[in-house]
Structure 1
Amino acid sequence: MTINTPLATDDQTVAAQALQGSLTDLLDLSLNAKQAHWTVVGPLFRSLHQELDELASLSRDFADRLAERSAAIGRAPDGRPGTITATSGLSALPAGWIKDSDVRGLMTTSMAVLISRMRQRVEDTSTADPVTQDLLINLTGELERQHWMLQAQSSY
């Protein structure tokens, strides 16, 4: 099957690569956020529990937008578990219960890595596909807001 797009083949490739990389990173972030949501323990349990749920939801919502953008430009998105495991740039969480301060640190670090990767993708798509770039800019802004909120809990 072929989905037609106004993008030149090279621009389509650049945009599709940025979208696919962002998709796998976001799906991984949503899974890690949910895992941490279920296993966080400590005095900050309630606030982190809620914040991690919001982060998982945000990640899934944006992952859906990214996958649909990829399809719209004629490239099939790949969100299969094996693809996420093989290509995500995020670190895995440890098994078992995770202390609230450790969850904050792990998630803050993961988000910093993801934001850096997203900013590169924003730059990569600047001339190839401004529509994809706009989506990535909006996502990066939301990730930076969530990153700030996680950091603010421990920066007093």
Structure 2
Amino acid sequence: MAQKATVYSGQGFSLRGEKDRFVLPAKLRNPLAEASGERTLCVSKHDRWPCLTGFGKDRVDTFEDLLDELEDKAIARGDMAFDRELKSAALYTFTPTNFDASGRFNLSSTLFELGDIGDALYFHGIGQIITIWNPEVLLAQGPEFAQMQAYCRQEMAAANAKGKGK
């Protein structure tokens, strides 16, 4: 059994800066770097929500156990349509994205497209993943996202206030 992946909690906001870089907030990047000793954020498309997800390389070590569990549950409920390879493709299709000591990183053009990314990102740690949102897309979601939306508005306001102070 693989060890549990790092758990992420907290929020953050980043405007696209010079050289098209964003900044991963310290409260999310520090556990990521500490868990693996590397500054790598694995980024992929969320399987149900219109956002990206980020996680550390340590989470990849849990994928086979997760696939076994999903397959066992599918068999137990008589779901013969479970496609392990398709689920594997969803899990293992990610882009390792390096960040510097200050958390600055670039996203590939594919991730920009998949995440409908513009000039800002909102980060929200939700356990074993960090959701990475275009703030406009998050704010357009339904009431089930109300808590994330409130934090997003707060983080955006703080970033705008900081920008006006310059």
User: Given the two structures, how large is their TM-score scaled by the length of structure 1?
Assistant: 0.29
Q: Which structure shows the higher helix fraction?
A: 1
User: Given the two structures, how large is their TM-score scaled by the length of structure 2?
Assistant: 0.28
